[in-house]
Chains A and B, each alone.
Chain A
Amino acid sequence: MADLTSNFLGISSPNPFWLASAPPTDKEYNVRRAFEAGWGGVVWKTLGSEGPPVVNVNGPRYGAIHGADRRLLGLNNIELITDRPLEVNLEEMTRVKKDYPDHALIASVMVPCEEAAWKEIIPRIAETGCDGFELNFGCPHGMAERGMGSAVGQVPEYIEMVTRWCKAATDLPVIVKLTPNITNILMPAQAAKDGGADAVSLINTINSITSVNLDAMSPEPMIDGKGTHGGYCGPAVKPIALNMVAEIARNPGTHGLPISGIGGVTTWRDAAEFMALGAGNVQVCTAAMTYGFKVVQEMISGLSQWMDEQGYSSIDEVIGRAVPNVTDWQYLNLNHVTKARISQEDCIKCGRCYAACEDTSHQAISMSEDRVFDVKDDECVACNLCVNVCPVEGCITMETIAPGAMDERTGKPVADEYANWTTHPNNPSSAAAE
């Protein structure tokens, strides 16, 4: 049985599944139930400065994108940081940590970009017994307009500065939560590292308008006839998050910086993918908000079964395992030739591969009168679109053409040696280098 125990920055938790700082972790009641349901840790919903708490809108806070059967694919929110008094949160955190010493409890913090504010609050929160801090430099709505959240996260110098203040104020691990609403994730990640961060967590939500109410002509969620951009999360953002995690993991400047992976983790497989790309653990929010805390049980059983099947005994053996295989386009092997293969046995004859290829790609699939679909090897560029649009899992696959065999499309045998764009004759740079 694989050991799912997680030790992230020295913070131990029974498994690598943490609840992200968000509505599910806003109060003691929720967090106790989450721990009982099996979550390994929580990042408590972001605490703000002492004084009158922020207020939230009193209309809808969420908008959504649905797939077939109203499956929730993307969620957008305009909720702010905790709207409960700081003192109440601190008391509750203290009680929870005392009762769950083996579970991770991280405090998410967002206060104005002034040294005094951070120096004042960090030690105070540390008294709760929490295991570390997560600096919320990510929220793209509401708080950013007040100079906090992503307004900090979009300026690397601020990230470095605030991180340094916090590191100086505590011995506990400091995680910097990054916003994806930037052009290059490496800049804020590097800044966090330079400021002394123990880890980064990403991604926070993506600026978004999920839909427009066409009767009222207003973005949703609509508050009294008006809407605003909110933070997008859920399964739809996972590909964006995976890329950003991978970039930080493979970039020489940030390689080795621990990462807490966030962004659409819904199943054990999503978690395994984040970890393979370098995340030391994962944080989850939308899946819990969609299905309740119980979903973690599938994540635990699934990850455990997969690790057993693969022969991994601890999650450390999984973390970063795919990072060496993330490369730049120019290093991909141009001599690797594949062709689509349609299993006639599995084919249900819907013709979607044909429509996709014929109308929008390479006219490389034929259709007979009796709806038999076949790949034309002399046209197939192996784009994979047919695989992606086929409704039957595994019906269309890509077959690697062995070196020496003929590529019907080019009329040339497949070369055995690896060759990429950097040495390709069509590449002006490669010609210049000769």
Chain B
Amino acid sequence: MAHINRENGVAAGRLDPTQVADNFTDLHPEYDEHEALVAADRCYFCHDAPCMTACPTSIDIPLFIRQIATGTPEAAAKTILEQNILGGMCARVCPTETLCEEVCVRETAEGKPVEIGRLQRYATDTVMAANTHPFTRADKTGKSVAVVGAGPAGLSCAHRLAMLGHDVVVFEARAKGGGLNEFGIAAYKSTDDFAQRELDWLLSIGGIDIRYSQGLGNGVTLDALQSDFDAVFLGMGLSAVNALGMEGEDKDNVSDAVEFIADLRQASDLTTLPVGRRVVVIGGGMTAIDAGVQAKLLGAEDVTIVYRRGQEAMAASEFEQDLAQQKGVTLICNATPVGIEGNGSLTGVTFAYTETQNGKLVTLDETFTLPADQLFKAIGQKLGDTPDALALDGGKIAVDDTQRTSAKGVWAGGDCATGGDDLTVTAVAEGRDAAMDIHATLMGAS
């Protein structure tokens, strides 16, 4: 057994480098050609296929699988990318178990769906490995569009606009593009710097200029964009996080899960990343799972994810919940934090049990304390400050079904806008659809 550092508190290098490298390998390794052909053979080429309907980007799944089966993964990739330019990342991070694969007729028939996600990855990786780009730009329209945010929504929108012949300038607040693909996804789902490789590949269509470290309120104003460009697309995601609103939240080693996940993705050497011996994560979504599982994989001895409602209400899919439990993470449901313990540094978190009574979540008297030297909050993200010109709805930028905001000439999509499921794939769909509406608007007006 390899060495394990069991020191209390938060420490780096709990596992030896080989173990860490092994822990963070690809969750679903790429198919080789034989595996892809065997998997593709299982597709029934359904009529009006349920998988296609379930896909937020409406990829023609039976067609691309048949293209793989007949030895043309490049054509398959084009089928995918026409609908979803980030098909490579979506193949890795989509919760396929609640989308296409959930409704696969072979799930109905045998409880084993066609592995659509992995087949999609096989096709898109084939094209990316060849470094070919299946799309070319249309003749220049002379129109220019500003896109705010180089995440899935912004990139999808920018690519489609560039393809249609518009010039696009993307303003990205961070020093690196990719958005949550780069900063917000568990490392074992996007290995080998995939988000950056995909970004470079996407930009190879041309006509897209990315300006880093610039965002709304950071050198750029919506007014200026509206006057300098023919249209504006906002896809800056959710830059703020929810707080517990509890005393002790400012203690050392109490932090936001999204920050931990981003640090982990940006770390060049995971053994230098400190992690607690006993880690508590509060939340029930994908962020909670990604943080909890990765803390465990870094060598935390005990990791507990605590969610205030019942397990069935968790936003994380069943597959993700199972994954967490397989990796040795404990899930506790129906418990809400009531105290952050420790005199100076964190020693534990106290929870009260909860119960749903008449449809309302009620906090019970009984409490318990989990010893903890690190606490991650994963209780949701929220929109940062937005210009007054934009009407909001439920804390997000209000958009109609063509992604138009209340401000003239301004569209929005992805996590910052209403609609969608806070998934990469829905953000891609919204960015693409906004681009099509922007195009129709700009060309109709000329």
Contact = CB atoms under 8 A, between A and B. Distances in A.
Nearest to B45: A352
A70 B39 CA distance: 12
Given A391-B109, A392-B109, A352 B41 contact: no
B109 A352 contact: no
Contact of A348 (B37, B45, B47, B105): B105
A348 B48 contact: no
Contacts of A354: 47
B176 interface: no
Contacts of A69: 38, 41
Interface in B77-118: 105-106, 108-109
B9 interface: no
Contacts of B42: 68
B319 interface: no
B106 A348 contact: yes
A123 B396 CA distance: 96
Contacts of A392: 109
Interface in A46-78: 68-70
Contact of B46 (A68, A70, A350): A350
A349 interface: yes
A72 to B, nearest CB: 14
A141 to B, nearest CB: 28
Contacts of A351: 46-49
B135 interface: no
B50 interface: yes
Nearest to A353: B47
B44 interface: yes
Contacts of B50: 349, 371
Contacts of B106: 348
Interface in B23-68: 37-38, 41-42, 44-50
Contacts of B49: 351
A290 to B, nearest CB: 18
Nearest to B38: A69
B38 A350 contact: no
A161 interface: no
A70 B38 CA distance: 8
A68 B45 CA distance: 13
Nearest to A354: B47
A348 B51 CA distance: 13
Contacts of A355: 47
A391 B44 contact: yes
Report the contact-size class of chain B (Cβ under 8 Å from the partner).
Answer: 10 to 19
A70 B109 CA distance: 22
A306 B42 CA distance: 30
Contact of A352 (B37, B38, B47, B108): B47
B41 A68 contact: yes
B52 to A, nearest CB: 11
Contacts of B37: 70
Contacts of A391: 44, 109
A352 B44 CA distance: 8
A375 to B, nearest CB: 16
Interface in A330-356: 348-352, 354-355
Most buried by B among A70, A350, A351: A350
Most buried by A among B41, B46, B47, B108: B47
B60 to A, nearest CB: 15
B41 A350 contact: no
B108 A349 contact: yes
Most buried by A among B48, B49, B105: B105
Contacts of B38: 69
A334 B17 CA distance: 78
A352 B46 CA distance: 6
A269 B108 CA distance: 29
Interface string A390-404: 011000000000000
A77 B411 CA distance: 64
A367 B48 CA distance: 10
A88 B300 CA distance: 74
Interface of A: 68-70, 348-352, 354-355, 367, 371, 391-392
22 contacts: A68-B42, A69-B38, A69-B41, A70-B37, A348-B105, A348-B108, A348-B109, A349-B105, A350-B44, A350-B46, A350-B47, A350-B105, A351-B49, A352-B44, A352-B46, A354-B47, A367-B47, A367-B48, A371-B48, A391-B44, A391-B109, A392-B109
Given A349-B105, A355-B47, A392-B109, 12 more contacts: A68-B42, A69-B38, A348-B106, A348-B108, A349-B46, A349-B108, A350-B46, A350-B47, A351-B48, A352-B47, A354-B47, A371-B48
Listed from nearest, the 6 A-B pairs whose CB atoms lie closest are: A351-B47, A355-B47, A68-B41, A348-B105, A350-B46, A348-B108
